[in-house]
């Protein structure tokens, strides 16, 4: 892959993540009685990117980036205490996972 297609892939990945975040905030099409809902295709841009550029490397990276971004965006609306708890738990897991034997 040359530099031009690498830059194009990165730009397209960023646009697909932004489009997925915007589509996630549309009102749900169907609201289930137990709390689940069907949104208007927030995963479709990520699927298009994964099909176009490959699902193993770039598709996984864009999907993981969207997941982390969506986690932080939706968590900030809950409370800042929840964000602090989740971040400190993640830092604790990373810090002590170095001592684990695989």
pLDDT tops 70 at residue 100 = no
Task: Quickly state the pLDDT bin for 15 (edges 50, 70, 90).
Answer: very high
**pLDDT of 30 above 70:** yes
Distance from chain centroid for Cα 51: 17
pLDDT for residue 83 is more than 70? no
Of residues 54 and 65, more confidence is placed in 65
**Closest to 18 (Cα-Cα) out of 55, 73, 57, 58:** 73
* Burial bucket for residue 61 (CB in 10 Å: 0-12, 13-18, 19+): middle
- Quote the mean pLDDT of the chain: 78
Query: What's the rounded Cα separation, in Å, for the pair 15 and 22?
Result: 11
């Amino acid at each position: 892959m040359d530099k031009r297609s690498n830059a194009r892939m990165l730009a397209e990945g960023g646009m697909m993540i932004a489009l997925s975040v915007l589509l996630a905030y549309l009102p749900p099409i169907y609201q289930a009685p137990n709390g689940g809902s069907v949104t208007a295709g927030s995963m479709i841009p990520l699927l298009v990117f994964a099909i176009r550029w490959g699902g193993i490397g770039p598709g996984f990276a864009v999907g993981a980036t969207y997941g982390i971004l969506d986690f932080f965006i939706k968590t900030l609306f809950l409370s800042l205490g929840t964000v602090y708890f989740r971040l400190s738990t993640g830092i604790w897991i990373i810090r002590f996972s170095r001592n684990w034997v695989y």
